[in-house]
Amino acid sequence: MNIGIDLGGTNIAAAIVDAGGGILCRTSIPTAGGGGAKAIVEGLCEVCGTLLSGAAESPASIGIGVPGSVNDDTGEVIFTPNLPLRKTDITSTLKEKYRCPVHLGNDANCAAIGETIAGGAKGAKDVVFITLGTGVGGGLILNGRLHTGIGGAASEIGHMVIYPGGRKCGCGRSGCWEMYASATGLIMTAKGFMEADKDSRLWELCGGNEGRVDGRMIFIAYRTGDSAAQLAVALYTEHLAAGIVNLINVLDPEMICIGGGISNEWDALSGPIRAIVEAESFYRHLSDATKTKIVKAVLGNDAGLIGAAFLGNH
């Protein structure tokens, strides 16, 4: 059995995962980020101890998904914006305590592994995982192996530019895909259409304060036929599809697997996305049997837990 841990800014979630990707038991505690690195490592030990308290065997390995850049060879978190772990080894204590290998991975990479083990991309060997949330994250599984790049920072797909000179991104560039295809990007797009349509239902839903607009409101208005919301979703879909086409043209993967909060609106997005991809990607020249399949992720937050448990195999 393996242990998978999802180290988040709010909670540390952990689970014992079987060989097929099934979760046998789980636990969660608040992340004591205010206590510094020592408190976080203690939290990692605590969740493992809770899981193993009734176990008849020791774990074969422990994997930890981290929201940031990591070095699995040294057990070090290189950088994470929301936790006090910069240049910190968080694995040594666990290795000593539980006498097993401990692996680190970026959280989006872990989710990519999880979806190929037991989720929407199960069984696929070449997968691009995309997570659509506040930003756009990703993970690459190439020939059945996680691809992290020479410096461990591969799969920052949200930071390919699709609109040169466009919206300023937190990474320092302008026009990044993240600024158009994330929930943040959708909201920015919708606000533009709201400003031009003072009768939009979005004004009612946000109580007249556009600062309160969120993705859920936009899709509620979209489903009622609101013009501003429908224009926003249509343009958002074009932006999302533009990045997907780029990924397909560069990598020609077996599957694109899409997760994150916005993937909950898959019924509204999937048809238009597939139509644009079919019209614009280079694979339109290929046979249907070899075309990239675009699927929805199905594991939700469990993807990261399951994937972390399999880091040692990828």
SS (H, E, C) 47-60: HHHHHHCCCCCCCC
Structure confidence at residue 32 (pLDDT) = 87
Residue 296 region by backbone torsions, left for phi larger than 0, else alpha for psi between -120 and 50, else beta: beta
Q: Is 171 helix (H, G, I), strand (E, B) or coil?
A: coil
- Axis-axis angle for helices 227-251, 215-223 (nearest 10): 110
Q: Which fold has domain 2-114+302-313?
A: Nucleotidyltransferase; domain 5 (3.30.420)
Q: Which two structure tokens, joined as six digits, stand for 118?
A: 């037991």
Q: Which two structure tokens, joined as six digits, stand for 267?
A: 């019924």
Over residues 99-110, the pLDDT tens digits come to 999 999 999 999
The C-alpha atoms of residue 116 and residue 192 are separated, in whole angstroms, by 38
Over residues 181-211, the pLDDT tens digits come to 999 999 999 999 999 999 999 999 999 999 9
In contact, 210 and 182? CB cutoff 8 Å: no
Within the chain, which residue ranges are assigned CATH 3.30.420.40? 2-114+302-313, 123-297
**pTM score:** 0.90
Instruction: Give me the count of residues in the chain.
Output: 314
pLDDT above 80 for 64: yes
Sign of the CA dihedral running 24, 3, 47, 303: negative
The C-alpha atoms of residue 272 and residue 234 are separated, in whole angstroms, by 8
Structure confidence at residue 293 (pLDDT) = 94
Q: Which two structure tokens, joined as six digits, stand for 135?
A: 């930003």
Please state which CATH number belongs to domain 123-297. Answer: 3.30.420.40
